[in-house]
Structure formats: structure tokens, C-alpha cells
């Protein structure tokens, strides 16, 4: 018969069944032990406790006696007993606590226990005295209803080569874990900005096929502008996304990661999986990593039984949780960027290095700007006051945003003088200068001055050609760009004039190819 280790639980069960009046054969069949083994332990118990056969007296044997019956006396545990308080202080010190393994190493060095006590014995000692379970570190696990909560987090995954920049860049993992099924969504990104954060949520909702009731997140700037226990201020774009999908945002308390412990535990798992993907394919790119991690979430991680729920996350998600998720809107949310801007005295705001005109009554005021891929909307006190298409050039202007005195400033003063000087060179230059000065005569005054001054140093025909080309090709023209166009036209003009012209005498010697082929045939 093969060897089978007799554990303390086996001995306790033998004693309990014997005390209950069961025969040796019954105990042997029930526990799968040899009858000789059962008889041996019963005999030892009766030798140490003569009343073991009396049903009125239960055999209250301590663990030390049961361990001795097993043949493995806890001698190593006794070596650690004198240092119980010291071990407890090392592990539970609030200011500078140590992990149990580190505390074991410290005890071995300080008290010369190296080689005398194994770490396994130390772990049993710690568990027996409940040293590593401090009241301040205990966690209450709260199970959530299906489709109730979704916990999200960012973590730094590692470095990955980016072919667009030809550099190694930091990769962040966006993780969303459903609190009920533990099924999750992971997306590797290069940025953690506002737009990337919202886009990852939109992709996650699409991947899940629905939306959970509440999203629990950290107080990162992409989601929460101002953390507060009772009244947190959410990022405008993130709050709009939540309203669009009909879900609620629940930021955690500051510096309290255990408020979203389920996704916090996933950080280690996802980081390790990213390193595994990189080890298997050192040339992997971001898109491939995202494809591989999603396949792993469904076909490997999702098919293993979770240590807490004892259920397969993907199966639990598809059968119970997914049908209860809130339905998605017909169109996915378009991520927008919200920025605060000031309306300058020239009636423009600056957004993403471009200028947009704002009506005159709002000059000097602060406005909120919503930017999508094709539209710029400006709000003041939550009211839409202006809307522009995204500028292709530097400036987007609406004439009715300016008062009459500003719009008509082109007809007098320095702007009028510049237009007259440009007209002396030619009509194309005049049209170009008027385009630069319109509609606000003093916005681009220096640019117009530079171009008019440039026209004095070049022939009028070249200036006119450059002006015609600039009007046809460019929305925005600067003196530097205009000068480069003029120089290029001048160079082409000089090359054309420097070509040698042939005289009549020289031309008489020119022959076509047929002449030479005829001469060659004649010689043959």
C-alpha cells in the first residue's frame, strides 16, 4: 500500500469517530485509512486518556498532543516563543511595518536562528498567533450585485517601442473590473490624459456590451479635478460621458486604494501579463498587445476559476451579469476636450494653438470651451454663446463678433495707408494685404507691414506672382513664408534669363537623329 501522510485533521477525525462509537472497520472505510493505522492512533489516545472510550467524556486533546501522536512534535515553534512580542512589533509597527518574511530574516540575524528554524515553521507560528492580521489592516470584502459596480484604474505596465516616434515609451494599462463577475477590460495606452481616459471608457462599454450602474475610480486628474469626500468636482468631459451613458461616478476616498480593492489586485496580474507578452515577442507593438490581452482575458483568465468566487469570470459574466447591464446608446459617445479660456481684447480665444472669435460682450471674461474632432463650442455660465468649425488655419473668424468701429477700421489710418502702398505694386498684392487685415484691422497689422516692406526690394512682377499664389494656396500667410515664395520665384526667373541663346550660324550645325543614322547606313 502506498504511503499516505497522516495529518492532524485525520487524527482528530479518528478520535472523534472512535468516541462516537464507530468500529475500526467503519472508520477505516470512511477515512480511507488502513485498519492498523486507525487502531494505532486509537490505542495511543487511550493510553494518554483512559476516559477516551467513555461517551460522556469527550477527548479534549490539545494540538501539541495530537502533533506528538503524529510523530512530529512542534519543537521548532518553541524556539520562536521567546521572540513573540518582538515579531508582533516588527510586523504590526504602524510607522515601519515589515512583511512576515522580512521579519523572519531579521529575527534569524538578531538571535542566531539561521538554519535552526525554517520559514515554513515561522509561517505556521505567525498564523497560530495571528501576528500578521492586524486590526488596522483587516479588510471587509463586500460582494456586489450583478451589473452594480465597475472599478477602474490606471497602472504603469512597462516600456514599449513606438514606431511613430522611433522611441521607447511608457505604456499604461487601463483596467476595468466588474465587481460581481470579476470579468475585466484592459487597454494599453501611451497617455493618461483626459481624452484617452474617456475613450478607454467608451471602448470598454462597447466591449462589455453594456454599462454598469456605478463606476468607482481613483482621484486621478483625468477623472476628478478636485477630490472631496462629500462633493468631488469631476472633470467636465468625464461627467458628460457618464450622463450620456446613464451611469454614476463614485470617486474613492483620497489615499484609500482598498475602496476599489478588486481592481487594485488586478494591477499585479495585468502588469505581469504585459511582461509575459513582451518576453514572448520583443517586437510587439501596442495594437498587438491590446489584441493579445483581450484574447487572454476571455480564453485563459476568463476560463479559470476565480479564487474568491470559485467561478469562471467570463462564464459568470455572460450568463448572469451581461444581461443586466444597461443598454448602450445607438451612437458611441464622442470624446471631447474641455478647456477654460479668456476672451482677449481682440475678441479672440486661444484653444489648441488656434484662435476663434467671440462676440464683443464677452471680452475679458472667462469661458469654457468644448472641442471635438470637428467642432468648437464656447459656453459662458453654462450657456452656449458661440460655435465654430475647427480651424484649418490659425484663425477662425465671424464678422458679426466685432463692433462696427472695429470692422470699419480698415478704411482709415495705418491699414488704409498699407492698402494704398500695396496697390502701387499691383492688384494681387493689394488683395493679399486686405485679406491679412480683414476683418480686424489691427490684429495682423505688423504682418501686413512686413509684406508691404518686402515688396520694395523685389521686382513688381515677381511680387504679383507670389501674391497670386499666396491667395490661391494659403489661408494664413506670414512675411517669412511670403519671402520664401518670392525668393523661389526670383531664382526661377534668373535661371530662365541665364540660358544661352543660339545664333543662326550655330543653329545651322544642328542635325536631328535621322541624319546620323542615315550617314551610318551609307558608310556600311
Q: In the prediction, which pLDDT does 517 show?
A: 55
Q: Is pLDDT at 90 greater than 70 in this prediction? A: yes
- Tell me the mean pLDDT in the region 152-175: 92
DSSP string, 384-411: EEEEEEPPSSSEE--GGGS-HHHHGGGG
Instruction: Please report which confidence band the pLDDT of residue 493 belongs to, taking 50, 70 and 90 as the band edges.
Output: confident
Instruction: Please report which confidence band the pLDDT of residue 512 belongs to, taking 50, 70 and 90 as the band edges.
Output: low
SS3 22: coil
Cα–Cα distance measured from residue 201 to residue 196, given in angstroms and rounded to the nearest whole number:
9
- pTM comes to 0.55
Residues 6+ apart with CB under 8 A from 479: 447, 450, 451, 454
Beta bridge partners of 160: 169
Cα–Cα distance measured from residue 23 to residue 14, given in angstroms and rounded to the nearest whole number:
10
> Is 443 within 8 Å of 346 (Cβ atoms)?
yes
Q: Is 31 or 313 the better-scoring residue by pLDDT?
A: 313
> Is 461 within 8 Å of 449 (Cβ atoms)?
no
Q: In the prediction, which pLDDT does 86 show?
A: 86
Instruction: Please report which confidence band the pLDDT of residue 6 belongs to, taking 50, 70 and 90 as the band edges.
Output: low
* Cell numbers representing residue 270 in the block: 495585468
Instruction: Please report which confidence band the pLDDT of residue 103 belongs to, taking 50, 70 and 90 as the band edges.
Output: confident
Q: In the prediction, which pLDDT does 1 show?
A: 45
Q: Is 152 or 73 the better-scoring residue by pLDDT?
A: 152
Task: Supply the mean pLDDT for the chain.
Answer: 81
Q: Is pLDDT at 498 greater than 70 in this prediction? A: no
- Tell me the mean pLDDT in the region 384-402: 84
Q: Is 368 or 124 the better-scoring residue by pLDDT?
A: 368
Cα–Cα distance measured from residue 142 to residue 148, given in angstroms and rounded to the nearest whole number:
12
Least confident of 22-31, 76-85, 409-418: 409-418
Amino acid at each position: 500500500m502506498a504511503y499516505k501522510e497522516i495529518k492532524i485533521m485525520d487524527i482528530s477525525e479518528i478520535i472523534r469517530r472512535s468516541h462516537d462509537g464507530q468500529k475500526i472497520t467503519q472508520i477505516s472505510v470512511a477515512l480511507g485509512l488502513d485498519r492498523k493505522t486507525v487502531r494505532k492512533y486509537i490505542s495511543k489516545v487511550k493510553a494518554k486518556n483512559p476516559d477516551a472510550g467513555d461517551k460522556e467524556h469527550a477527548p479534549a486533546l490539545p494540538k501539541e498532543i495530537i502533533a506528538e501522536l503524529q510523530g512530529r512534535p512542534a519543537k521548532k515553534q518553541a524556539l520562536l516563543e521567546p521572540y513573540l512580542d518582538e515579531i508582533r512589533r516588527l510586523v504590526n509597527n504602524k510607522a515601519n511595518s515589515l512583511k512576515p518574511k522580512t521579519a523572519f530574516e531579521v529575527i534569524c540575524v538578531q538571535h542566531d536562528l539561521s538554519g535552526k528554524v525554517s520559514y515554513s515553521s515561522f509561517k505556521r507560528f505567525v498564523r497560530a498567533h495571528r501576528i500578521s492580521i492586524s486590526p488596522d489592516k483587516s479588510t471587509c470584502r463586500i460582494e456586489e450585485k450583478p451589473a452594480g459596480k465597475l472599478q477602474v484604474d490606471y497602472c504603469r505596465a512597462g516600456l514599449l517601442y513606438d514606431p511613430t516616434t522611433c522611441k521607447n515609451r511608457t505604456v499604461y494599462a487601463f483596467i476595468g473590473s466588474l465587481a460581481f463577475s470579476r470579468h475585466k477590460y484592459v487597454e494599453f495606452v501611451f497617455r493618461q490624459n483626459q481624452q484617452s481616459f474617456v475613450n478607454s471608457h467608451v471602448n470598454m462599454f462597447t466591449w462589455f456590451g453594456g454599462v454598469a450602474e456605478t463606476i468607482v475610480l481613483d482621484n486621478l486628474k483625468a477623472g476628478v479635478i478636485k477630490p472631496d469626500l462629500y462633493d468631488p468636482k469631476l472633470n467636465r468631459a468625464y461627467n458628460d460621458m457618464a450622463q450620456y451613458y446613464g451611469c454614476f461616478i463614485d470617486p474613492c476616498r483620497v489615499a484609500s486604494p482598498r475602496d476599489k480593492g478588486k481592481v487594485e489586485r488586478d494591477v499585479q496580474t495585468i502588469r505581469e501579463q504585459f511582461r509575459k507578452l513582451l518576453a514572448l515577442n520583443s517586437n510587439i507593438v501596442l495594437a498587438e498587445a491590446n489584441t493579445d490581452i483581450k484574447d487572454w482575458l476571455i480564453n485563459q483568465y476568463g476560463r479559470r476559476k476565480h479564487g474568491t468566487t470559485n467561478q469562471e469570470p467570463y462564464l459568470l459574466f455572460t450568463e448572469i451579469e451581461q444581461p443586466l447591464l444597461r443598454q448602450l446608446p445607438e451612437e458611441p459617445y464622442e470624446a471631447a476636450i474641455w478647456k477654460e479660456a479668456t476672451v482677449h481684447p481682440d475678441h479672440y480665444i486661444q484653444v489648441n494653438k488656434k484662435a476663434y472669435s467671440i462676440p464683443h460682450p464677452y471680452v475679458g471674461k472667462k469661458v469654457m470651451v468644448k472641442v471635438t474632432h470637428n467642432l468648437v463650442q464656447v459656453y459662458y455660465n453654462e450657456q452656449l454663446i458661440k460655435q465654430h468649425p475647427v480651424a484649418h488655419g490659425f484663425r477662425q473668424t465671424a464678422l458679426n463678433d466685432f463692433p462696427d468701429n472695429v470692422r470699419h477700421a480698415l478704411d482709415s489710418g495705418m491699414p488704409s495707408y498699407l492698402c494704398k502702398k500695396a496697390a502701387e505694386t499691383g492688384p494681387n498684392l493689394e488683395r493679399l494685404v486686405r485679406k491679412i487685415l480683414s476683418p480686424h484691422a489691427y490684429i495682423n497689422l505688423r504682418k501686413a507691414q512686413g509684406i508691404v516692406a518686402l515688396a520694395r526690394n523685389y521686382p513688381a512682377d515677381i511680387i504679383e506672382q507670389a501674391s497670386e499664389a499666396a491667395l490661391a494656396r494659403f489661408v494664413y500667410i506670414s512675411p517669412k513664408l511670403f519671402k520664401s515664395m518670392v525668393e523661389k520665384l526670383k531664382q526661377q526667373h534668373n535661371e530662365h534669363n541665364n540660358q544661352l541663346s543660339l545664333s543662326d550660324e550655330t543653329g545651322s550645325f544642328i542635325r536631328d537623329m535621322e541624319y546620323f543614322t542615315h550617314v551610318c547606313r551609307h558608310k556600311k
